[in-house]
Amino acid sequence: MDFQLMSDPAIEKEIGNRFKALRLRKNMTQAELARRACMHRNAVSALETGKGSHLATVIALLRELGAIENLNGFLPEIMISPMQIVKMKGKIRQRASQMQTSAPKKAVDW
């Protein structure tokens, strides 16, 4: 599936469909999953229908569905190369810098 071509609401709906399929594969109702994750059934329903959800809801449901390890595939840990560590003198980057733009050269009036 090419997520680049999809709108944000379409991606939310696809994620919801995948959560629903996983829940059904585990043979759980929305109410049972919500109870086990200590949340309201509406939170599970909202996620499954692509109507938005909190990150905490996604994490709790992945944990209860035994799929928390899927987060590694979703957003893998960024490894810093040894050369970058040496270049940065062991410092870990804390923030991004602004992009450098070259100002257009002004014509000289003589």
* Euclidean distance between CA atoms 104 and 108, whole angstroms: 12
Q: What is the pLDDT of residues 80-109, one digit of tens each?
A: 777 777 777 766 667 777 777 766 666 666
* % of the chain at pLDDT higher than 90: 55
Which pLDDT belongs to residue 78? 75
- pLDDT for 46 equals 95
Alpha helices in the chain (DSSP H): 8-25, 30-36, 41-48, 55-64, 71-74, 82-87
pLDDT digits (tens, 9 = 90+) for 53-75: 899 999 999 999 999 998 888 87
Which residues make Cβ contacts (< 8 Å) with residue 30, sequence separation at least 6?
23, 41, 44, 45, 48
Domains and CATH numbers, the chain: 3-73 (1.10.260.40)
The answer to whether 23 and 33 are in contact (CB under 8 A) is yes
pLDDT score for 98:
76
